A and B are shown apart, each in its own frame.
Chain A
């Protein structure tokens, strides 16, 4: 049965697992708290975990991700009971509203993450090496879809695993946004009222948790999306067989799965009301959910660090012969810039969250003014990562734009060197601007001026990109299939994000704009233009490479033409109400914010100007949701039923399109040599790569390294 209808079995088990988990949780909660808490955290947590695990069991059997999840649950329980045992010996309280006490939950969650990576089997090769056993250099994957649910060392499989996980998280984060956008459609509380109770939270608290998690889940999904594209594409562009460290590559991916589970558990375990920024002292007082959030981010950050290390090593060591720095595909330059940031800055967000976690667990007063701590120190540590993180999101996206433009314009990328260097420039300057998030924070007020200068400086390399893109378009022979539409949409939306940046950089104007919907509109423009649009472009563009089929052009265009106007309305509307006084992160707003005149009455509610504005934003949000749903249907349908596209569909010069799709297991059967410039469209007789037959070497990484002529032996 599992062979024929795995999805149906999975869904059936999902329901059964959820019901059983709910029953178990309810029983445990009854034993501990003596009350039947039907919407409480314990029952919900058990229901959620068992449902997800049962789903994968039905889909896939007890191996791979299923075994990882089972081990994660067991690890969490064992870790939790271990601390509870110690607490019993010390005579401390044992159980509470979230079953375990906070220290037991934190230790259990950490044990759960470690158990997951053992359970899924991604460390088994390393364990064998530790015992002195040999393993094959590369494990062969089973054919078909099943390889995606277990450990694979193939960068293409891992790239798709990353991408699919990213899309799942985007759906979850988007769903959260639609829930709170619905609440915001009218002033006053409609369904998230104070009398509403779920997961040990009332309505406004649920709003805060959803809003906070929307932020972080989207950020993690973007990090995974970035890793997905880099993993899939970079080795293909370089002519490498795989990433430099295939096992670490798989390890980095599989860390992201328990991290996602922890993030979702934070909602169930009491939530948290701090926003994704988690500023103390608020985060030091938040419910225990914030600890799950901290650990989830910590684990995802760990994944990001290892992944970027791998990209850097791969680019440095595994380029095809002749691929010098100035002949690298432009997306590789963007990947390098982004990986340098992720490798060196991510530690700071981990550190800042860890310090708050320790403040809660161990009473250390890092950010507690009463103990001599300083709450503003946290903001410095936090933004030292979280500002450059924005460039981690957008640089690969801008790289996709630069990579795809020449293909669809049939002209070289204008000013290749300048575009390449501007990525590094943005990465560098991006490290010097973090305190512009803190102009109103009460930090040293004279320091605000140098940060204003450095922040405005970011406009220079970003401008170079825009002008070079325009010059690339100028005089070309432009075609607009779906990927190109998303490239153009990305440029437009990112332009709006970029242009609304400087008013936040000049201190005095920022003091009005900060913490309002203006900022919300500004950064959604930045992230959509810099990541989401190019991400969709990349998916439409490289989908045929991965599957040998193409996605429907018609539905791709519907997706684009539905999403783009809706999105522009959404962000323009956000900025407009933000300027007039709409604060960020509020569950309800002053109905008289834009005047007290009642425009009309609908659904038993007086609509004033601000209600009307918010209703339009909510409708725009739903339209974006529908467009993404169309994308998903197109994606899944096209995997099996899309039009066959095995050749050079886009007529690109890039090496991966010179071989048939889908790509073979070890990429290029015949290695290539770089003999020209990557984007010399319109230069007759020019070639970027040439395939050269040569005898197989055993040590592949040395064979394909760009500097193989410098080999020491």
Chain B
């Protein structure tokens, strides 16, 4: 009996200490969305249960190892106890109720983070190896930075142009895969002004690690003035071919592989590309003129630049007008 009292006390002590310690460690990132609140609540409840169950198993184990250690020279066996059906039924039924309770709570929790606000602002997210672009259909603006107003539910309508990606802002909590050929949804209500990053959470190839974009949560007023500026910029850019080209490469994620400052990248740099001498993988060389760049966008594998054989660029499906805009833009990169 004494053994049980000691173990009981130790279990409670370790469970409480464990939970307090885990709480003090600040395991989660800051809460920056309304959806993070119920998730963190359930997580917290699970931490309590984890601390308790850990103590419940580890304490009697450790206690047995110390107290019921075989004495030196003792070669006899221990007491013959085969089992106890009542105990077995108890520790089958009670955990059964506990996990079913957690499943019930989990279902409610899921419903809470999926709650629909009919006035949500739509942001269309397009993922491509290895970049994100964000389209605001209400404003006709496409950007490669995600700006969100605080306190408004955002409905992300997401799709991918190539492979499966996953949209995740750790401070917002839920993530959602982005699948080619279909539109997946995620609802987030930002609640904390600050700068975060959307990070691709589903392995998507060579530069998966760098598939991150800035997320800026600001007040509604700041968001509105930023948006007004974006609308103006978009109108200006649409007036010239190089402006359209620049907007197109920005929203298509070309910068994930091609730098514009001469730095090394996954693909050849665009810095001073136009008119330069290009060495190809088959040993030949040519001048980067309009026809060459046109061909390289349309059929990227036709001529491969020396040193870039391992990472093949996909065909993005641009039409000829779009490609002409891009060529016009590339002429300005020097």
A residues whose Cβ falls under 8 Å from a Cβ of B: 34-35, 97, 194-195, 197, 200-202, 204-205, 208, 273-275, 279, 281-282, 285, 369-370, 374-376, 409-412, 414-418, 440-442, 445, 448-449, 452-453, 456-457, 459-460, 463-464, 466-471, 473-480, 488, 491-492, 495-496, 499-500, 502-503, 505-509, 511-512, 514-516, 576, 579-581, 583-590, 677, 680-683
A506 touches which of B42, B71, B168, B282 (Cβ 8 Å) = B42
Contacts of A445 in B (CB 8 A): 114
Q: Is B206 an interface residue (CB 8 A)?
A: yes
7 contacting pairs across A/B (C-beta < 8 A): A281-B180, A467-B91, A470-B64, A480-B65, A491-B57, A503-B43, A509-B42
Q: If A460-B92, A586-B209 touch, does A376 touch B179 (CB 8 Å cutoff)?
A: yes
- Flag the segment in B81-89, B243-251, B285-293 that touches A: B81-89
Q: If A205-B310, A506-B42 touch, does A449 touch B107 (CB 8 Å cutoff)?
A: yes
Contacts of B210 in A (CB 8 A): 588
A579 touches which of B27, B176, B184 (Cβ 8 Å) = B27
Q: Is B5 an interface residue (CB 8 A)?
A: no
Q: If A488-B61, A515-B166 touch, does A507 touch B106 (CB 8 Å cutoff)?
A: yes
Q: Is B177 an interface residue (CB 8 A)?
A: yes
- Flag the segment in B94-102, B269-277, B294-302, B323-331 that touches A: B94-102
Contacts of A583 in B (CB 8 A): 168, 199-201, 209
A647, chain B: closest CB distance, angstroms: 15
Contacts of A282 in B (CB 8 A): 163-164, 203-205
Contact A457 B39 (CB under 8 A): no
Nearest neighbor of B308 in chain A, beta-carbon distance: A202
Q: Would you give the 0/1 interface string for B54-80, flagging 1 where the beta carbon is closer than 8 Å to chain A?
A: 100110110011001111001011111
A280, chain B: closest CB distance, angstroms: 8
Contact A476 B64 (CB under 8 A): yes
Q: What's the Cα separation between A417 and B82 when bound, in Å?
A: 10
Q: Is B20 an interface residue (CB 8 A)?
A: no
Q: Is B311 an interface residue (CB 8 A)?
A: yes
Count, A-B residue pairs, CB within 8 A: 293
Nearest neighbor of B178 in chain A, beta-carbon distance: A442
B145, chain A: closest CB distance, angstroms: 16
Known pairs A412-B82, A445-B114, A512-B43. 12 more at Cβ < 8 A? A194-B264, A202-B206, A281-B163, A281-B164, A453-B103, A459-B99, A505-B106, A506-B46, A508-B106, A511-B39, A516-B201, A682-B81
Contact B39 A456 (CB under 8 A): no
User: 3 nearest interchain CB pairs?
Assistant: A369-B181, A506-B106, A581-B170
A508 touches which of B110, B201, B282 (Cβ 8 Å) = B110
Contact B78 A476 (CB under 8 A): yes
Contact A473 B61 (CB under 8 A): yes
Contact B203 A274 (CB under 8 A): yes
Contact A590 B197 (CB under 8 A): yes
Contact A460 B95 (CB under 8 A): yes
Q: What's the Cα separation between A509 and B28 when bound, in Å?
A: 11
Q: If A197-B310, A508-B38 touch, does A580 touch B170 (CB 8 Å cutoff)?
A: yes
Contact B68 A506 (CB under 8 A): no
B24, chain A: closest CB distance, angstroms: 13
Contacts of A682 in B (CB 8 A): 77-81
Contact B207 A460 (CB under 8 A): no
Q: If A418-B88, A502-B99 touch, does A410 touch B38 (CB 8 Å cutoff)?
A: no
A450, chain B: closest CB distance, angstroms: 9
B203 touches which of A273, A460, A474, A579 (Cβ 8 Å) = A273
Contacts of A476 in B (CB 8 A): 64, 68, 78
B74 touches which of A468, A477, A585, A683 (Cβ 8 Å) = A477
A416, chain B: closest CB distance, angstroms: 7
Contacts of A440 in B (CB 8 A): 166, 174-177, 201
Contacts of A204 in B (CB 8 A): 206-207, 209
Q: Would you give the 0/1 interface string for B162-191, flagging 1 where the beta carbon is closer than 8 Å to chain A?
A: 111010101101111101111010000000
B35, chain A: closest CB distance, angstroms: 8
A416 touches which of B27, B83, B92, B173 (Cβ 8 Å) = B83
A621, chain B: closest CB distance, angstroms: 19
Nearest neighbor of B66 in chain A, beta-carbon distance: A478
B257, chain A: closest CB distance, angstroms: 10
Contact B209 A587 (CB under 8 A): yes
Q: Is B208 an interface residue (CB 8 A)?
A: yes
Q: What's the Cα separation between A100 and B68 when bound, in Å?
A: 65
B248, chain A: closest CB distance, angstroms: 22
B18, chain A: closest CB distance, angstroms: 11
Q: Is B212 an interface residue (CB 8 A)?
A: yes
Q: Is B105 an interface residue (CB 8 A)?
A: yes
Contact A508 B174 (CB under 8 A): yes
Nearest neighbor of A412 in chain B, beta-carbon distance: B82
